[in-house]
């Protein structure tokens, strides 16, 4: 059976990505009920006609399709697998679609648990950023086959421009982690391009334009880093979410006995940004790791928070200031 306009849809997690995605489902004519941990972030949708529910279970009670777009695997686990989670509370036959970037194994567990309870669950992380969510042009990375997803295809099309079908539960998440591995390396490259140009006294904007038009270009350079060049570090994609993704990617690689040194370096950079107070900044704030200290402080960073007790290559006897010097990539 294909689910058409007028069917009941629940949406859980109305943050940077979830709110605009849910907005497209409203625009497409679905009856929408929303729940978010912090209600204020759902107010825009409520003003446009969505109904509010006080819990994921209440949101799912009458839903034919439930979307989730929360932050971390722990949030996904709570929303799906806790006593009042979706696996128990959703209707029999309901579709449960997780858009969060999360753990492949958790996606498999949720799929299997749903099947036992006569529900359909699949992982469907997205790429395309806040702009793609706002414009309804996301790329969806589905852990299900096109044939099996046919009943919910119209809902997916309401906020995407292309869908890649990875057929198996958890495979959508694995493919998304591949995306993040590539994204993070491009992000570091874009930040280092700016650092090198600035230090050399040539215009980072002009260099970015030149590189963007050629073989060194990337979406990180042309769509994410320009904000940093304007001193804008507001989150489109939170640094702490990229840290989560890279940890998940390295866990997946570890399971496959694969080493990803460039991803380890990218994770070290993003982790450093998070440690010094940049966890809620956008990923373009990686550029601040290469900037002078005053620029970082003006953006809210505090280098005194850096945890230098880890397995750093810095000898213990060095002073905190000297340790900070050696853990700042600009100085390495
Ligand atoms: P976000 O703004 O933090 O949104 C997550 C939302 O989920 C928040 O509003 C949060 O509530 C809510 N939430 C978390 N746990 C919940 C729970 N147990 N019950 C109900 N609501 C809960 O982050 P985002 O940027 O939208 O990203 C969401 C996911 O998509 C992340 O996994 C991220 O890695 C991924 N992603 C992001 C982008 C991007 O460009 N932003 C692109 C692709 C994928 P609060 O309001 O209380 O915090």
Indicate whether 324 pLDDT > 50. Answer: no
Residue whose pair of structure tokens reads 């040539």 in the numeric block: 202
Query: Of ligand 1's atoms, which has the minimum distance to the CA of residue 101?
Result: 32
Instruction: Let me know if 176 is a catalytic residue.
Output: yes
Distance 17 CA to ligand 1 centre (A): 7
Indicate whether 26 pLDDT > 80. Answer: yes
Pocket test for ligand 1, best of 10, 12, 15 (most atoms within 8 A of CB): 15
Q: Residues 41, 176, 244, 305: which is the catalytic one?
A: 176
The pLDDT value given to residue 320: 44
Reported as a single tens digit per residue, the pLDDT across 174-201 is 999 999 999 999 999 999 999 999 999 9
Q: Average pLDDT in the 86-95 region? A: 97
Pocket lining: 241 vs ligand 1, CB cutoff 6 Å: yes
The pLDDT value given to residue 144: 98
Query: Of ligand 1's atoms, which has the minimum distance to the CA of residue 244?
Result: 34
Q: Average pLDDT in the 10-19 region? A: 98
- Contact (CB, 8 A) for 289 and 299: no
**Which residues, in sequence order, are CB contacts of 170 under 8 Å at separation 6+?**
104, 105, 107, 108, 111, 123, 143
Pocket lining: 164 vs ligand 1, CB cutoff 6 Å: no
The pLDDT value given to residue 5: 78
Q: Average pLDDT in the 33-61 region? A: 98
Pocket lining: 281 vs ligand 1, CB cutoff 6 Å: no
Distance 34 CA to ligand 1 centre (A): 14
Distances in Å between the alpha carbon of 43 and those of 24, 34, 72, 326?
15, 10, 23, 46
Indicate whether 79 pLDDT > 90. Answer: yes
* Mean pLDDT (the chain, rounded): 93
What CATH class has 180-331? mainly alpha
Q: Average pLDDT in the 164-173 region? A: 98
Query: Of ligand 1's atoms, which has the minimum distance to the CA of residue 242?
Result: 34
Confirm whether 8-169 and 180-331 share one CATH topology.
Answer: no
Indicate whether 315 pLDDT > 50. Answer: no
* Closest by Cα among 306, 6, 312, 315 to 154: 6
Pocket test for ligand 1, best of 35, 37, 84 (most atoms within 8 A of CB): 37
Q: How confident is the model at residue 332 (pLDDT cuts 50, 70, 90)?
A: very low
Please tell me the pTM assigned to this model: 0.93
The pLDDT value given to residue 311: 55
Indicate whether 20 pLDDT > 90. Answer: yes
- Counting Cβ atoms within 10 Å, is residue 6 exposed (0-12), middle (13-18) or buried (19+)? exposed
Reported as a single tens digit per residue, the pLDDT across 295-314 is 999 999 999 999 887 654 54
Distance separating alpha carbons of residues 148 and 164, to the nearest angstrom? 13
* DSSP codes, 17-52: THHHHHHHHHHTT-EEEEE-SSGGGGHHHHHTTPEE
The domain limits of the chain are 8-169, 180-331
Indicate whether 330 pLDDT > 80. Answer: no
At 191, phi and psi to the nearest 5? -65, -40
Distance 256 CA to ligand 1 centre (A): 28
* DSSP codes, 234-283: --SSBHHHHHHHHHHHHHHHHHTT---HHHHHHHHHHHHHIIIIITTSBG
Pocket lining: 130 vs ligand 1, CB cutoff 6 Å: yes
Q: Average pLDDT in the 32-47 region? A: 98
Pocket lining: 34 vs ligand 1, CB cutoff 6 Å: no
Q: H helices then E strands: how many in the chain?
A: 16, 9
Pocket lining: 78 vs ligand 1, CB cutoff 6 Å: yes
* Closest by Cα among 88, 76, 68, 94 to 8: 94
* Closest by Cα among 202, 151, 177 to 256: 177
Q: Average pLDDT in the 227-233 region? A: 97
**Which residues, in sequence order, are CB contacts of 92 under 8 Å at separation 6+?**
117, 118, 119
Indicate whether 75 pLDDT > 90. Answer: yes
Pairing of strands 95-98, 65-68: parallel
Distance 127 CA to ligand 1 centre (A): 14
The pLDDT value given to residue 308: 80
Indicate whether 149 pLDDT > 90. Answer: yes
Q: Is 165 helix (H, G, I), strand (E, B) or coil?
A: strand
CATH superfamily of 8-169: NAD(P)-binding Rossmann-like Domain (3.40.50.720)
Distance separating alpha carbons of residues 230 and 279, to the nearest angstrom? 19
Pocket lining: 198 vs ligand 1, CB cutoff 6 Å: no
Distance 68 CA to ligand 1 centre (A): 9
Which of 168-172, 200-204, 251-255, 303-307 is least confident?
303-307
The pLDDT value given to residue 299: 96
Distance 231 CA to ligand 1 centre (A): 24
The pLDDT value given to residue 327: 55
């Amino acid at each position: 059976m294909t689910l058409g306009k007028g069917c009941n849809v629940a949406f859980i997690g109305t943050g940077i990505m979830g709110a605009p995605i849910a907005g497209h489902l409203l625009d497409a004519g679905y009856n929408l009920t929303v729940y978010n941990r912090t209600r204020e972030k759902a107010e825009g949708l409520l003003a446009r006609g969505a109904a509010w529910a006080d819990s994921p279970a209440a949101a799912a009670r009458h839903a034919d399709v439930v979307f989730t777009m929360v932050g971390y695997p722990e949030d996904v686990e709570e929303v799906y697998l806790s006593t009042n989670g979706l696996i128990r509370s959703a209707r029999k036959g309901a579709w449960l679609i997780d858009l969060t970037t999360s753990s492949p194994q958790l996606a498999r567990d949720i799929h299997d648990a749903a099947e036992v309870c006569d529900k359909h669950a699949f992982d469907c992380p997205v790429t395309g950023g806040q702009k793609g969510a706002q414009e309804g042009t996301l790329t969806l990375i589905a852990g299900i086959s096109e044939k099996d997803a046919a009943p919910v295809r119209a809902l997916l099309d309401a906020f995407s421009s292309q869908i890649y079908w990875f057929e198996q539960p958890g495979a959508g998440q694995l493919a998304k982690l591949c995306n993040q591995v590539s994204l993070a390396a491009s992000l570091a490259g874009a930040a280092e391009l700016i650092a090198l140009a600035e230090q050399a006294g040539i215009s980072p904007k002009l260099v970015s334009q030149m590189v963007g038009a050629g073989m060194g270009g990337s979406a990180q350079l042309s769509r994410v880093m320009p904000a940093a060049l304007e001193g804008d570090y507001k989150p489109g994609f939170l640094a702490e979410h990229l840290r989560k993704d890279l940890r998940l990617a390295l866990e997946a690689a570890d399971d496959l006995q694969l080493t990803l040194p460039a991803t380890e370096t990218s994770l070290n950079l993003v982790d450093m940004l998070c440690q010094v107070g940049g966890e809620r900044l956008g990923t373009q704030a990686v550029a601040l790791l290469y900037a002078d200290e005053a620029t970082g402080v003006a953006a809210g960073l505090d280098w005194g928070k850096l945890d230098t007790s880890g397995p750093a290559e810095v000898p213990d006897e060095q002073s905190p200031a000297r340790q900070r010097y050696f853990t700042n990539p600009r100085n390495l």
